[in-house]
Amino acid sequence: MARAKRTLEAARFQPGAKVRVRYGVIVPDLPDIPLGGWTGTVTEIIKDHGQINCVFKLDDRTLASIHPIYRRRCERDGLDFETMGLSKGAGCSMTAHQDRM
């Protein structure tokens, strides 16, 4: 059964899929910034050493609502604030997301 679940999860997070970060997840490089509720579109899936890393571009709604301190810290540290990479193996989790009208 675990194999079927893993296959389903990998299929759910393919490039182009819409995702929402679950509440309680923090920015990996900035541990005091919560990510819960942020949404975007998967741009890349990186599978390395049994770990799945999901790279996604934040959508316009999320970009409009993020705190200015997050943008400043990203600029200071040379990070792209419009994209996010989360590792499934690091306890980060996302759910499939569909826009609600």
Helix (H) or strand (E) holding 45: strand 39-48
Count CB neighbours of 27 within 10 A: 20
Q: Could you tell me the pLDDT band of residue 83, with boundaries at 50, 70 and 90?
A: very high
Query: How many whole angstroms separate alpha carbon 95 and alpha carbon 44?
Result: 16
pLDDT tens-digit series, residues 5-21: 554 455 457 889 888 88
Q: In the prediction, which pLDDT does 45 show?
A: 87
Stated pTM of the model: 0.74
